[in-house]
Structure 1
């Protein structure tokens, strides 16, 4: 076993390949990223903590909030064992918040509470929380997967019905946040392009293995089970090497141009080339507000349709709670 034990956080804009990359990495005998996504770390730390170097939270209150998180519902739905209040007694051995969260994430490891190996989590939205996570986890490393924003909007539309322009705006937000955090993270940050992972999987996975100080293993090149249940990669157990550039068949030239105008001032830091846009033209605040509301309605409908009224409502409430942040 190599020296680095974690945590590793896999981040990126939604529909950028974070799930695929997590599942490939979890095939490695020494890597064990938590499944499902957590989302709760910033909320629980900011509500019950304050000093990352000192863990003295009231376990009854902490567990009560933890048990309300959608993470618990998703874990049960997946048929996984979930922590109860008695299991939470393990946290009494934690001296820091890093220790406490490690106990939790290892409990929910991908292969059934394997206690050894590199631990971590795949939560795409943590691309906005990397600075805070580095405070909580001083040894954390961050793997940021980036996908062509035009394909991201196509995938989000197919998966959830989300508006292409709003998805493009979120991609810009995520990229700017990542760029800012990367400056302070230095060698603890690595970016990977989704398209490179598809075209030359071995080279990229070897590069990632070096980043996390683990030997490359051939088994990482295939999936044990399909990684996706949504989008073009749904049900596939092999890496779909042609799953990019789909936007050219899906987006009209006018819509593609509008998407490119929104990402114009950020895409120049990537290998992606603009095909129509000639200037930056962001969404107006009014339009962004309208699209946020419209996509919010679609998200609610999607949740209720997939999980039913009771569980869907619980997830919605939990997501709202998790979004309550103190300034940091």
Structure 2
């Protein structure tokens, strides 16, 4: 089976990338692990630290580092391959996979082959900040950037504030904006054949049309399985993945944010919200520098406080 260039699903945290991952992996030609790799960008950036990758032992070191960083992903989220360091290292060595991209591709390609798919992909949201690096090392790869109303992203981030280090509305807004703006700006440079944007709200409201457009971008045939996707049976996964598409899972910020939070969020990133097609409810006058500095300081101090207390959730 000839493998096609990879697909990367990227975006700001809590933007619905896991939902899109489960929908897209239901396509018979596409293999997407059910977790997030996290090791691809670090390994590419530090490839020089592993020496000559034509040496079997150095390939083994790379695989060991993958496991050290993402053991759960490698043990539970690859559904077409059993991750065995020694066996894989020997196979990659024999196949002449002597560069970091070749080793990484080898892992995902063998997992895809085990699932009967011809395209491998990965969903790790923060890779949106590293698309040029990925494009450099995986020629032909394509990016799907999922964008969600930042006000709903903020609500979701607050539920995991210690994971993201987000402790106030202003910081949540800027956190969201960085991912969205870098992704969109980079995407413009990559072009429409390489970069594709989807709004989370469109995915919920018009799932078939949205997925048909995505299939056209990926040059694959549309399948009904993309809409009636296989749900997650794991309680630890996003709860909404255990149900059909929830078309009302949007604009929760209108009832769950206070008027003060909405005002602060919109004043922090109003132009970005509007550029992404999300209307404002306030005049969104830009915040003065001292106010912005205060909220940055507040978040830094809160982060230090909870870290000293050993908070994890």
Alignment TM-score, normalising by the size of structure 2: 0.83
Q: Name the structure 2 match of 1:143.
A: 144
What SS does structure 2 have at the residue aligned with 1:284? helix
Cα offset for 1:220? Answer: 0.8
Residues 157-236 of structure 1 mapped to structure 2, 5 A cutoff? 157-160=158-161, 162-163=166-167, 164-186=169-191, 187-226=193-232, 233-234=239-240, 236=242
Alpha-carbon contact 1:42-1:133 (below 8 Å) kept: yes
Distance (Å, rounded) in 2 between the aligned partners of 1:96 and 1:260:
46
Q: 1:284 aligns with which of 266, 280, 292?
A: 292
Once the two structures are overlaid, the 10-residue window that deviates more, 23-32 or 59-68, is 59-68
Q: Name the structure 2 match of 1:63.
A: 63
Residues 1-80 of structure 1 mapped to structure 2, 5 A cutoff? 5-49=4-48, 56=54, 58-69=58-69, 71-76=70-75
Q: Name the structure 2 match of 1:322.
A: none
Describe the shift of the 1:230–1:253 C-alpha distance in structure 2 as closer, same or farther (beyond 3 A): farther
What SS does structure 2 have at the residue aligned with 1:302? coil
Describe the shift of the 1:104–1:294 C-alpha distance in structure 2 as closer, same or farther (beyond 3 A): farther
Q: Name the structure 1 match of 2:261.
A: 255
**Alpha-carbon deviations, 1:271-321, whole Å to 9, x = none?**
101112422227735632542563574796336xxxxxxxxxxxxxxxxxx
Distance (Å, rounded) in 1 between the aligned partners of 2:233 and 2:245:
9
Q: 2:312 aligns with which of 297, 302, 320?
A: 302
Q: Name the structure 1 match of 2:104.
A: 101
Q: Name the structure 1 match of 2:281.
A: 275
Describe the shift of the 1:24–1:232 C-alpha distance in structure 2 as closer, same or farther (beyond 3 A): closer
Larger radius of gyration: 2
Describe the shift of the 1:75–1:232 C-alpha distance in structure 2 as closer, same or farther (beyond 3 A): closer
**Alpha-carbon deviations, 1:186-231, whole Å to 9, x = none?**
0200000000000000000000011111100001102322489689
Distance (Å, rounded) in 2 between the aligned partners of 1:13 and 1:159:
14
Alpha-carbon contact 1:227-1:237 (below 8 Å) kept: no
Alpha-carbon contact 2:9-2:17 (below 8 Å) kept: yes
Once the two structures are overlaid, the 10-residue window that deviates more, 235-244 or 96-105, is 96-105
Distance (Å, rounded) in 1 between the aligned partners of 2:190 and 2:48:
23
Q: Name the structure 2 match of 1:119.
A: 120
Q: Name the structure 2 match of 1:307.
A: none
Distance (Å, rounded) in 1 between the aligned partners of 2:24 and 2:279:
29
In structure 2, stretches of 5+ residues that fail to align are none
- How many aligned residue pairs are there? 296
What SS does structure 1 have at the residue aligned with 2:196? strand
